[in-house]
């Protein structure tokens, strides 16, 4: 109890703190949140929709917007909040993505009017919901056609005041047609879109032959923003099989000769206009692309257009090849086909998704047919009761007229004609004007046709092959009615185009590279070098390498983490002797704790490199092993990690080297004695035989070793122990 004079509402007793194991906290607090995000927010289900999308579309369906005129988006958003309690902002964003105006989907479900922005704009905002209008597009008829026939389950909304569908009975594999992306807890999904006609054809082919080659009927993904897909059959086969992988899409462009500019009119789905223009301007500013004078957005009501002005005499093909390499004009789309199947997330390949959809659609069609069968059986039952009335209409009228109490009419009809309560209720509700032989004859004539329909429907319910035929026929009709040509063109020779060496449009001139032991890098032109004085380094730093090469050369930077980082000399600005230069670990993005070891410069990768290790082994690796066809900047396993690296030497032709161990012995050998190994992480061969507790300390060019009479240190065969080096020689290990 609080003390008598303590402030009101405050207790002076100590608070009770209960220790809770972290595992219990995760189980009770975090896991329910994680499951909610996965199951109820971020991951789509087999109908192709996330819960927020499904709630929006169902609300619009209940508002009668599938056939009526458009209404204000704000009205739709307000109604949707009965199912989706997450606020009007997220609901409207969901509508924007599903709209025809935003162009994010190949088959948009919302017929929009007003400014809904565009998926390929990053900075352009859509208009507020009070200004725009929307209704459901025609293709939604294929989503809701079976919704009122018990084709899918319904559940309570968040406050239990109304029902909503668990799934929408989509008559086509929308999960593959509509692109979808979501980030959950510990997992994500990224599904690319496919052409509606091709998806329907693939579904039909898969139903008829589970072993069909899907790539023959579903050749590649398709995107509403168009572009060119760089066809790689192996990469697509992996995606189709596992649901994971990536492929590349590049922009479409044309050269306007009269204005000396390039017009980009289709871009990759994952890129935006602003992102592309910003990157082009950045390249121009850094002098990496010098044949461009301006890049601007000229998009209008006719569609997307990025104008790239070229300088006089520039080759548009070379410029665009360069830009494709360095900007999002060519971009990769990473696939992760993560879908909720029966409430559990699963990563499925395209074939598996089609199989799951077919199984689910088979059940929805069976339920729809069974619903029709039940209704027709009920109707037949009523008509058979009405047929018995036909035998004696006067008797029925007499029973009704002579019954004193209203609640006794139905029981008396049941007794008088031998019918059940349902039939009697139906007869009793017939209007007086319809109690005539003509009306009853017309109704009872339906009995024979109903019986035939019921027999047919019952056969469909019990015959899976007939249900499958219905699905195939519906897919064929949908493909014919709503199908559109591909928007993304497939470039069949993508392998050769993508593997072609990059055109470097930088200027070619001689430079001298200075690299310090700490990893500071300077590129100095001959004129600047003649005019400069002593090279500037930090107090505890000094020159490690001085290399004469070209501005178009590549550099390969090696680290103590057995990695190599690649860059172009042209990526670095011209420097002076009086500055420290670029710090390579920061410039190239070294990992934490990773340190610079050495650097190699090459123009054509015809040189060889020698790696000497503390265990006395040496590996001769041709530099072509480091030449990559793609634009990779970081190479893992760049050299062997079994023993510390003691020396790295690059040579064009075979040279003589001197190896020293920590016991003061020296060995002279030639690189010609080592066979080249094309595996970068090769262990090499034993060069120097080492005694116990002795290591290889250094390997130097013979001219820098201080050995005046090398013949005494040479060995005819390797490995060799070498000879004690009598001259004073200090080695840093």
- Strands, E, within 49-122: which ranges? 71-72, 110-113
Residue 338 near residue 347, CB atoms below 8 Å: yes
The string over 62-99, giving b where at least 16 C-beta atoms fall within 10 Å of a residue's C-beta and e elsewhere, is bbebbeeebbebbebbebbebbbeeeeeebbebbbbbb
CB neighbour list of residue 324: distance below 8 Å, 6 or more residues apart? 250, 251, 330
CA distance 503 to 299: 29
Please indicate whether residue 131 is annotated as part of the active site: yes
Cα→Cα distances 436→430, 440, 485, Å: 10, 6, 58
CA distance 531 to 476: 78
The token duo for 62 is 């209940």
Residue 230 near residue 497, CB atoms below 8 Å: yes
Q: In what order do the strands lie in the sheet with 665-670?
A: 696-701, 656-661, 665-670, 723-724
Q: In what order do the strands lie in the sheet with 564-568?
A: 596-602, 554-559, 564-568, 634-635
Dihedral angle of Cα 594, 599, 601, 602, to the nearest 10 degrees: -70
CA distance 361 to 356: 8
Within 13 A of 260's CA, how many CA atoms are on the CB side? 10
| CA neighbor of 588 nearest in space, from 608, 613, 561 | 561
CA distance 632 to 565: 9
The token duo for 464 is 């899976």
H-helix segments, 287-406: 316-326, 350-390, 393-402
Question: What's the chain's Rg over C-alpha atoms?
Answer: 39
H-helix segments, 116-232: 141-144, 174-177, 196-208, 214-217
Residue 243 near residue 338, CB atoms below 8 Å: yes
CB neighbour list of residue 245: distance below 8 Å, 6 or more residues apart? 235, 236, 238, 239, 334, 335
Helix (H), strand (E) at residue 697: strand 696-701
Label residue 428 exposed, middle or buried (CB < 10 Å: 0-12, 13-18, 19+).
middle
Please count the other Cβ atoms lying within 10 Å of the Cβ belonging to residue 197. 19
Residue 640 near residue 684, CB atoms below 8 Å: yes
CA distance 592 to 104: 39
CB neighbour list of residue 645: distance below 8 Å, 6 or more residues apart? 558, 560, 597, 611, 612, 613, 614, 639
Residue 732 near residue 676, CB atoms below 8 Å: no
Query: Annotated catalytic residue: which of 30, 33, 131, 158?
Result: 131
CA distance 566 to 275: 25
State phi, psi for 681 to the nearest 5 degrees: -100, 25
CA distance 377 to 294: 74
CA distance 465 to 362: 10
* Catalytic site positions: 131
């Amino acid at each position: 109890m609080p003390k008598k004079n303590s402030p009101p509402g405050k207790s002076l007793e100590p608070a009770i703190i209960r220790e809770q194991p972290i595992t219990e906290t995760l189980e009770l607090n975090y896991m329910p949140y994680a499951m909610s995000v996965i199951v109820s927010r971020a991951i789509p289900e087999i109908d192709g929709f996330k819960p927020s999308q499904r709630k929006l579309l169902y609300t619009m369906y209940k508002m009668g917007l599938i056939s009526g005129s458009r209404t204000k988006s704000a009205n739709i958003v307000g109604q949707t909040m009965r199912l989706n309690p997450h606020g009007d902002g997220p609901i409207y964003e969901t509508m924007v993505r599903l709209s025809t105006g935003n162009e994010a989907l190949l088959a948009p479900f919302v017929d929009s009017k007003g400014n809904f922005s565009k998926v390929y704009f990053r900075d352009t905002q859509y208009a507020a919901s009070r200004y725009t209008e929307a209704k459901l597009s025609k293709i939604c008829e294929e989503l809701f056609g079976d919704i009122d026939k018990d084709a899918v389950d319904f559940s309570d909304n968040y406050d239990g005041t109304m029902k909503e569908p668990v799934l929408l009975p989509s008559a086509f594999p929308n999960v593959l047609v509509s692109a979808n992306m979501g980030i959950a807890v510990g997992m994500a999904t990224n599904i690319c879109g496919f052409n509606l006609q091709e998806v329907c054809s693939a579904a039909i082919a898969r139903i008829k032959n589970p072993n069909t080659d899907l790539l023959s009927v579903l050749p590649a993904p398709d995107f509403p923003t168009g572009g060119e897909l760089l066809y790689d059959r192996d990469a697509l086969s992996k995606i189709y099989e596992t649901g994971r992988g990536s492929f590349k899409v590049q922009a479409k462009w044309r050269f306007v000769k009269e204005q000396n500019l390039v017009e980009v009119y289709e871009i990759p789905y994952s890129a935006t206009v602003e992102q592309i223009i910003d990157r082009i301007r950045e390249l121009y500013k850094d002098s990496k692309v010098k044949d461009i004078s301006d890049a601007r957005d000229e998009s209008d009501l006719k569609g997307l257009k990025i104008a790239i002005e070229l300088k006089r005499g520039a080759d548009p093909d070379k410029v665009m090849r360069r830009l494709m390499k360095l900007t999002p004009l060519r971009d990769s789309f990473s696939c992760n086909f993560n879908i909720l199947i029966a409430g559990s997330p699963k990563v499925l390949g395209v074939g598996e998704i089609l199989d799951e959809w077919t199984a689910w659609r088979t059940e929805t069609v069976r339920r729809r047919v069974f619903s029709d069968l039940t209704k027709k059986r009920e109707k037949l039952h009523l008509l058979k009761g009405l047929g018995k009335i036909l035998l004696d209409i006067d008797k029925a009228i007499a029973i009704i007229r002579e019954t004193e109490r209203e609640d006794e009419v139905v029981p008396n009809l049941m007794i008088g004609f031998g019918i059940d309560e349902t039939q009697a209720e139906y007869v009793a509700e017939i209007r007086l004007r319809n109690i005539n032989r003509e009306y009853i004859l017309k109704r009872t004539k339906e009995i024979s046709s109903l019986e035939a329909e019921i027999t047919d429907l019952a056969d469909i319910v019990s015959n899976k092959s007939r249900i499958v035929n219905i699905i195939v026929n519906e897919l064929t009709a949908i493909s014919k009615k709503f199908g559109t040509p591909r928007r993304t063109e497939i470039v069949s020779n993508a392998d050769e185009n993508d593997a072609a060496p990059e055109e470097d449009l930088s200027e070619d001139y001689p430079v001298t590279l200075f690299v310090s032991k700490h990893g500071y890098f300077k590129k100095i032109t001959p004129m600047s070098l003649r005019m400069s004085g002593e090279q500037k380094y930090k107090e505890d730093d000094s020159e490690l390498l001085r290399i004469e090469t070209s501005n178009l050369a590549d550099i390969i930077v090696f680290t103590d983490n057995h990695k190599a980082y690649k860059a172009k000399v042209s990526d670095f600005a011209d420097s002076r002797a009086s500055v420290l230069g670029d710090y390579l670990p920061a410039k190239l993005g070294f990992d934490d704790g990773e340190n610079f070891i050495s650097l190699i410069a090459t123009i054509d990768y015809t040189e060889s490199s020698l790696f000497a290790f503390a265990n006395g082994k040496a590996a001769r690796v041709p530099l072509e092993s480091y030449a990559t066809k793609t634009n990779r900047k970081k190479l893992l396993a760049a050299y062997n990690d079994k023993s510390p690296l003691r020396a790295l030497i690059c040579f064009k032709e075979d040279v003589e080297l001197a190896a020293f161990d920590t016991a003061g012995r020296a060995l002279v050998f030639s690189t010609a004695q080592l066979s080249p190994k094309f595996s970068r992480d090769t262990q090499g061969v034993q060069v120097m035989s080492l005694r116990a507790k002795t290591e290889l300390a250094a390997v130097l060019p013979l001219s820098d070793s201080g050995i005046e009479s090398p013949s005494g240190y040479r060995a005819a065969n390797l490995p060799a122990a070498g000879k004690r080096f009598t001259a004073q020689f200090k080695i840093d290990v």
